[in-house]
Amino acid sequence: MNIKAKVVNPLLLLVTSVLFLGIGIFILIDHDLASRVLMIGIAIAIVVAGITHAVGVILNKHIIQGVLIGLAYAVVAASLFVLSWFYIISVTWIFALWFLCTGIIRGAICIQAIKKQSQGRLIGALVSILSIAFAIILFMNPFMRSTTVLRIVGIYMILYGLTVLFDFFSEIFKWNLNDDNTTRRVRIPLPLFITAFIPSRLMSNFNKYFREHNVKANMIQEINAPEGKERVDLEVFIHLCGENLNEFGHSDFCYGDTVYSYGAYDETEHKFFGMFSQGTIVKAPRELYIRHCLSFEKKILVGFGLCLSDAQKKKVEEKINEIMQVAMPWQTRYERIQNGTLSQEEPCNDAASELVKATGAKIYKIKSGEFKTYFAINTNCVKLADYITGSAGLDVLDVSGIVTPGSYYALLDDMFERRNTIVVSKTIYRN
C-alpha cells in the first residue's frame, strides 16, 4: 500500500529557524523578561487546555467532574505565579539531574574508551568532570543559578535554529544532491528526553491509525525521491516494541538482501542488567528477519530507504567489511544442541536461539575494536547503524555521546520529509 509522502515546505523550515533563533536571542538579551513571558505563556496554555478538557467532559454529561477538572487546571495555572520560586527551583534541579546523569554516562563511556584504548578518552573525561561539577553547583544554589539554566536554553535554541536554517538552505540550493557526498555535518538534535521515547509513542500512534482507518495492508510505503533516485540501496529499520518489550526500541540495517543487527545476543555475557555485554552482530536474510520481528516479537518496523551513489555504496561496503573482519562465528544454545556439543537440559528459548531457528541467521562476536563491548547507552545498535550509514554522508547523530533509536528515527524522518536527501522512502511493516 503506497501513500503520498508528507514533504516539508522550505518556508516552514525558515519560519521554524527564525522562531528558535528569535527566542534564543531574546532569552540571552533579557532573561528576566523572557522568564516572565514564558511563565505567562505556560499559564495561558494550561488554562486553554483546562477549558478544552472541562468542556469535553461536561458535554459528555459529567458536569461536576468537568467543573472540578477546570478548577484543577486553574489552580495549577495560578500556582505558577504564587509559587514561582518553587517552579524555578524545580526546573533548575531537573537540569542539575540531567547534567549529573550525563556526567555519569560520559564517565562510563570514557572508562570503556580507556579499556579499549580508543579515541576520545581525554575529551570524555573532561566532559564528565565538567558535567558533574556543574550539576553540583546547580544543586547547591538552584534559585540563583536559574539564570544560568535560561542561558543554556537560549544557546540551545540558537544552535537548533541554525541547524534548521542550514536545512532550509539545503532545500533551496539542493546541497544534499551531490552523488559523491560522503562527508557529515554536525547536527543539533532535539533533546534526548523528547526523542528517547519516540518508539513507544509511535507504536501506539500507528496502532491507533490502523484501527481508525481500518488498514488491512501489512506494508505502507511512502516515496519522496527526485526523478531517477527512487531505488533503495540500503534500508535502516527502527523497531517499535510493545509495553512488554524495550520501549526504547531497536535499530539495524539491511544492505542487499542481508540484515545486520548489532546487540547483546549472548545473555551469558550480560553485566549490570544487560547494560554491558559482549558485542555481537547478526547476519540474517531480509524477508525471514522481518517476518520474525513482526510475527514472533510482535513488533512494528519502520524502514527508511537510502538511495546511494557508487561512491557511497563503496564506503558502506568498506565499513561492513571492516566490522566483519574482527567478527568470529558464535553458536547459540540452539545450534550447540543441534550439533551435539551441548545436552538439552532445558528449553532453548533465548532470543538468539529463536532468531536462528526462525531465520537461519549467523551470529558473530566482535573480538576487537570500537564495538567489542556493547554498552546500551552509547555503543549500541544505533551506534553501529550510524557508523555504517554515516559513511554515506548522513548527518552526525551522537553529538552528546548518547544515542537512542528514537534519536535516529527523528533524524531519518526529518531527512525523509525534505526533498533533497538520500533518504527516499519510509515503509511501515506490520504483522
Torsion of CA 288, 293, 298, 300, to 10 degrees: -110
Alpha carbons 384 and 262: distance in angstroms, whole number: 7
Residue among 176, 218, 238, 180 nearest 385 (CA): 238
Residue among 303, 308, 250 nearest 412 (CA): 303
Residue among 393, 394, 418, 412 nearest 170 (CA): 418
Q: What is the 3-state secondary structure (H, E, C) of 25-50?
A: HHHHHCHHHHHHHHHHHHHHHHHHHH
What confidence score (pLDDT) does residue 245 get? 47
Residue 374 DSSP SS3: strand
Strand 2-4 versus strand 219-223 pairing type: parallel
- Structural contact between residues 429 and 218, judged by C-beta atoms closer than 8 angstroms: yes
Mention every residue, 6+ apart, whose C-beta is less than 8 A from residue 153: 24, 27
Strand residue runs (E) in 295-402:
300-306, 327-330, 362-366, 373-375
Alpha carbons 351 and 373: distance in angstroms, whole number: 19
- 254 φ, ψ (degrees, to nearest 5): -120, 130
Alpha carbons 361 and 123: distance in angstroms, whole number: 38
CA distances from 61 to 52, 57, 68, 73 (A): 15, 7, 13, 19
What confidence score (pLDDT) does residue 428 get? 92
What confidence score (pLDDT) does residue 356 get? 92
Mention every residue, 6+ apart, whose C-beta is less than 8 A from residue 122: none
Q: Tell me the CB-side half-sphere exposure of residue 309, using CA atoms within 13 A.
A: 13
Residue among 170, 123, 197 nearest 17 (CA): 170
What confidence score (pLDDT) does residue 351 get? 87
Alpha carbons 22 and 164: distance in angstroms, whole number: 13
Strand 250-255 versus strand 234-240 pairing type: antiparallel
- Structural contact between residues 317 and 391, judged by C-beta atoms closer than 8 angstroms: no
What confidence score (pLDDT) does residue 233 get? 92
**Which grid coordinates are listed for 380?**
549500541
The single-letter DSSP state of residue 245 is S
**Which grid coordinates are listed for 350?**
533465548
Per-residue pLDDT of the chain (431 residues; tens, 9 = 90+): 555 556 677 888 889 899 999 989 998 888 788 888 888 888 888 888 888 888 888 887 778 888 888 888 888 888 877 777 777 788 888 888 878 887 887 787 777 767 766 666 677 788 788 888 888 888 887 777 778 888 888 888 898 888 888 888 887 877 665 555 555 666 666 777 677 777 878 877 887 878 877 877 787 878 877 777 778 999 999 998 765 546 678 899 999 999 999 998 888 888 877 778 889 999 999 999 999 999 888 889 999 999 888 888 999 999 999 999 999 999 998 888 888 777 777 677 888 999 999 999 999 999 988 888 888 777 788 888 888 888 776 665 555 556 788 888 888 888 888 877 888 899 999 88
Residue among 336, 405, 324 nearest 367 (CA): 324
Q: In the beta sheet, which residues pair with residue 428? A: 220, 302
Give the max Cα distance, the chain: 74
Q: What is the CA radius of gyration of the chain?
A: 24
What confidence score (pLDDT) does residue 120 get? 60
